Structure 1
Amino acid sequence: MSPAEQPAPTTAEISATPRPVLVVDFGAQYAQLIARRVREAHVYSEVVPHSLSVPEILAKDPAAIILSGGPASVYAEDAPEVDPGIFDAGVPVLGICYGFQAMASALGGTVARTGVREYGSTVVDLRPDDQAAQQADSAGGGPLLAGSPHQQTVWMSHGDSVQEAPDGFEVLATSPGSPVAAFEDRRRRLYGMQWHPEVRHSVLGQEALERFLYAGADLAPTWTPGNVIAEQVAAVRAQVGDARVVCGLSGGVDSSVAAALVQQAVGDQLTCVFVDHGLLRAGEAEQVERDFVAATGVALKRVDAADRFLQALAGVSDPETKRKIIGREFIRVFEEAAREIVAETEDAGGEVRFLVQGTLYPDVVESGGGEGAANIKSHHNVGGLPEDLQFELVEPLRTLFKDEVRAVGLELGVPEAIVWRQPFPGPGLGIRIIGEVTAERLEVLRAADAIAREELTRAGLDRDIWQCPVVLLADVRSVGVQGDGRTYGHPVVLRPVSSEDAMTADWSRVPYDVLATISSRITNTVPEVNRVVLDVTSKPPGTIEWE
């Protein structure tokens, strides 16, 4: 049975995502990480700002709520507050660090500065008189810390402490700086802990989160790649119907998985458009046609638009302007390609109404698309879209992190060579040239990038490194000596990073001999480059890309 002949989805099937566990962000550096850990427990989660009112939060129909940490003191004049009404809504709530203290304060407990700060690794003690009850409940789902050892190592970051728990709460744990380090009111399904269970340094942190989700909130671990596919296939069919669809295929994992998912939903209603904008790395255009098309059999239309993009970018150095120009030109090329597809195809069934994009959750957050989120940089497929967009967007990966996209891709049968390809930004090398983008500068950067990728692959580091952007400092010159003569060439920057989802990252410790080989090859074979430098900045404070 073809996708078009499938029975109409039910109302439940049309829902693109299940009821979320909402992480209410009080300014925590770990809010996104909390959502990540909830998803690792196979439960869907989203981050929302603390500025949302209780009715706004409840309008999202949360399955549970987690109050994040934050830098403020709950008794400070301008500290963000928790509306006590959230605890009377019948939704299970877990407070973490500041969220724990805010919960205690809102419900009549006491929070104060004890003079004993706890930062980093800390040992907490479960109350001795609770041990029998915890052991008895360990198999049946009981308290938040049921079955936990009497002492456990956790990660703390606080100067204030809960001194007295609110009425109706049972104190579960203490520490030297926290008279009340964890508590729960099982009848009202309210829970809290002073430490950060979301960080790996809390040895049993994931177990505590899962106990809240499974036992405290009575949720099932159903957020799996298979279920994500089923939900999104149903949602795409409901959105698209029998209309024609185009997908901007770059050959990267995001657009490839989005295309494979939409193809499963609507079959030959989909045509992929590969735009060679001239900003690709060496060999990428050929890889798209060779690998993805061969694996999926999807209809592909290739558009050579290199000259068009270079002309549009001429004289432009500002990174935000570059991103918006590239986003605009992408859409215009898609619009033209869609018209050509209709004209070239018999029984086309009318205009192409939908455009598939591989937008991910981090793209939305960094582009200011998340509620209350700052605009870190405009991703070309979010903040860079033109206002007069002629398509309706289909974004089946919009709620996913990168590792979740990879899991979905493997489930869909997308080749591992594509699924595990290092991420590459949609604007391509255009945002890896610091300065104006020209054909000559692109050739220099392509050559240097190809060498870096070859040597990292040869060293077996492809799975260890999230990605390694190579950046050309086109507006910078440095003095060098090559062939006994003075040179005045460009530096390139190696930016190898390790990450789980691109929301945070650390610079990768690439072996010195590999770095030496990359540097030597680049400076010996790329005449315009006479210096190779290494970026050792984490994210935050830096982003992965320089622009």
Structure 2
Amino acid sequence: MIYIIDFGSQTTHLIGRRVRDFGVRPEIVLPKEALSLIKKNKPKGIILSGGPSSVYGEKALLVDKKIFSLGIPILGICYGLEVVGHLLGGKVASGKKKEYGPTSIKILAGTSVLFKNIPKKKFKVWMSHFDQVVELPKGMVGIGSTDTVKYAAFSSEEKKIYGIMFHPEVHHTEYGKEILRNFVFNICGEKPVLGKEKIKEIKKFLKQEIGDEKAVCALSGGIDSSVSSYLTHQVIGKNLTCYYVDTGLMREGETKEVINTFKNKLKLPLVVIKAKKEFLKALKRVIEPEKKRKVIGEMFIRVFEREAKKIGAKILIQGTIYPDVIESKGTRHAEKIKTHHNVAGLPEKHGFKIVEPLRMLYKDEVRQIARELKFPQEMIVRHVFPGPGLAVRIIGEVTE
């Protein structure tokens, strides 16, 4: 596991995605919580993200400097480099000029594991900064520079602490993935978990979370809830019941297609709940799309509560994926894009333990798991149709 400390960068989640693409689990944490979580969970490495602040600002986001004495490899990116320089006794100041865009970095004499197997000594990188480290902390050496930034990269190979002023996570940076791969594998010593190993990991998680209890799954017919349901059924068998709620706000022929797919092809225990009247009643006089999402989120959970109570199930399986979390304001320093009915749209009080086996995966990763599970191709490429369905596409009040 690699911890990413989020200082409010626009690309924090992209760093996480790059790490995940290597088959390694990233965990995004906040600066104030970082030290206690690191001590508790002992990640193999720590990445300090970029951010819009100055380390000298009134509301500067910093981290407890004790993380540098834990013996865990650290990579500071952009603002993260400045945090390393500032907290370890170096000097951060305004640069000759603010930079946003491409430049070239020159790798300095000597070798760093961070730049292992990179064929060029000079290559294109992407910068986005106004401050820079002008004096290195004791024990650090410069390993890369640009025309305007003397210490565009520095390191303590002995302590495995690294800083780079550019963004390796963006595709504009040449060899960015190679640099992150060097940190994750050659410096942190992580091992990848991909393909069938990833499926085993998810099943292990489900077994730990559910045990011998009964569970219900919120099945929409989309790839996320489908994979969640299928894997859960493989783990707990007859203890799973899948509920598909026909809200009356579906695409034409949707319910018939879902019944055919899940009863005849995937052989899942499917129960169809006709709830058109309930949903239309709840949406009466609701105009604003964000309010519709929240109304629908609560309606779903109340319907599942009612039906689950009949069979004595207290665990709800959801097909939540990571973009749902991100768009619903996944961290304190992020902005909300929209409320997802299965994340921020859920009521605070409900009677379930919610289990989300795909919560940290992206859509394409879920599709890849579906391929591993031999899902029908038409399911894998099925066009996305979120739970609120036509309700948020209808301008104004939803009526019959």
TM over 0.5: yes
1:329-369 CA distance string (max 9 Å, x none): 212222333355x4xxxxxxxx1222211112232333345
Aligned: 1:207 with 2:178 = yes
Instruction: Name which of 200, 215, 225 aligns with 1:245.
Output: 215
Closer/same/farther in 2, CA of residues 249 and 167 from structure 1, 3 Å limit: same
CA distance in 1, matches of 2:330, 2:9: 18
Aligned: 1:83 with 2:83 = no
Indicate the residue corresponding to 1:192 in structure 2: 163
Spell out the pairing of 1:239-318 with structure 2 (5 A cutoff).
239-318=209-288
CA distance in 1, matches of 2:129, 2:233: 49
Which moves more between the two structures, 423-432 or 159-168? 159-168
Indicate the residue corresponding to 1:164 in structure 2: 135
Closer/same/farther in 2, CA of residues 371 and 338 from structure 1, 3 Å limit: same
Paired residue type of 1:259 = S
**Partner-residue secondary structure (3-state), 1:144:** helix
The question of whether the paired residues in 1 share the 8 Å contact of 2:5 and 2:34 is answered with no
1:114-134 CA distance string (max 9 Å, x none): 32333211111111x32xxx3
Indicate the residue corresponding to 1:424 in structure 2: 385
Indicate the residue corresponding to 2:322 in structure 1: 361
**Partner-residue secondary structure (3-state), 1:334:** helix
CA distance in 1, matches of 2:51, 2:388: 34
Indicate the residue corresponding to 2:303 in structure 1: 333
**Partner-residue secondary structure (3-state), 2:190:** coil
TM-score (norm 2): 0.94
Indicate the residue corresponding to 1:497 in structure 2: none
The question of whether the paired residues in 2 share the 8 Å contact of 1:314 and 1:438 is answered with yes
1:233-258 CA distance string (max 9 Å, x none): 12222322222221111111111111
Per-residue deviation, 1:405: 1.6
Indicate the residue corresponding to 1:46 in structure 2: 27
Closer/same/farther in 2, CA of residues 284 and 144 from structure 1, 3 Å limit: same
Closer/same/farther in 2, CA of residues 388 and 53 from structure 1, 3 Å limit: closer
The question of whether the paired residues in 2 share the 8 Å contact of 1:225 and 1:404 is answered with no
Per-residue deviation, 1:310: 0.8
The question of whether the paired residues in 2 share the 8 Å contact of 1:118 and 1:177 is answered with no
Per-residue deviation, 1:101: 1.3
CA distance in 2, matches of 1:273, 1:84: 49
* More relative contact order, 1 or 2 (CA 8 Å, 6+ apart): 2
The question of whether the paired residues in 1 share the 8 Å contact of 2:114 and 2:179 is answered with yes
CA distance in 2, matches of 1:338, 1:213: 43
1:448-501 CA distance string (max 9 Å, x none): xxxxxxxxxxxxxxxxxxxxxxxxxxxxxxxxxxxxxxxxxxxxxxxxxxxxxx
Per-residue deviation, 1:205: 0.2
Closer/same/farther in 2, CA of residues 373 and 285 from structure 1, 3 Å limit: same
CA distance in 1, matches of 2:278, 2:225: 22
Aligned: 1:107 with 2:88 = yes
State which structure, 1 or 2, has the greater radius of gyration over its C-alpha atoms: 1
Structure 2: segments with no counterpart, 5+ residues: none
Paired residue type of 1:201 = H
CA distance in 2, matches of 1:215, 1:49: 26
CA distance in 1, matches of 2:128, 2:309: 57
**Partner-residue secondary structure (3-state), 1:184:** strand
Per-residue deviation, 1:376: 4.1
The question of whether the paired residues in 2 share the 8 Å contact of 1:327 and 1:384 is answered with yes
1:376-422 CA distance string (max 9 Å, x none): 43321122223442222221111222222222222222222222223
Aligned: 1:407 with 2:375 = no
The count of corresponding residues between Structure 1 and Structure 2 is 399
Paired residue type of 2:302 = R
Which moves more between the two structures, 368-377 or 55-64? 368-377
**Partner-residue secondary structure (3-state), 1:310:** helix
**Partner-residue secondary structure (3-state), 2:152:** strand
Closer/same/farther in 2, CA of residues 246 and 210 from structure 1, 3 Å limit: same
CA distance in 2, matches of 1:26, 1:387: 28
1:127-160 CA distance string (max 9 Å, x none): 1x32xxx3xxxxxxx5211232111111111222
Per-residue deviation, 1:231: 1.9
Paired residue type of 2:275 = A
Aligned: 1:179 with 2:140 = no
Indicate the residue corresponding to 2:42 in structure 1: 61
1:251-300 CA distance string (max 9 Å, x none): 11111111011011112221211111011112221221222333211111
Indicate the residue corresponding to 2:123 in structure 1: 152
Aligned: 1:37 with 2:11 = no
Instruction: Name which of 110, 113, 125 aligns with 2:106.
Output: 125
**Partner-residue secondary structure (3-state), 1:179:** coil
CA distance in 2, matches of 1:262, 1:234: 10
Indicate the residue corresponding to 1:503 in structure 2: none
Per-residue deviation, 1:372: 5.2
TM-score (norm 1): 0.69
Per-residue deviation, 1:44: 0.7
The question of whether the paired residues in 1 share the 8 Å contact of 2:262 and 2:270 is answered with no
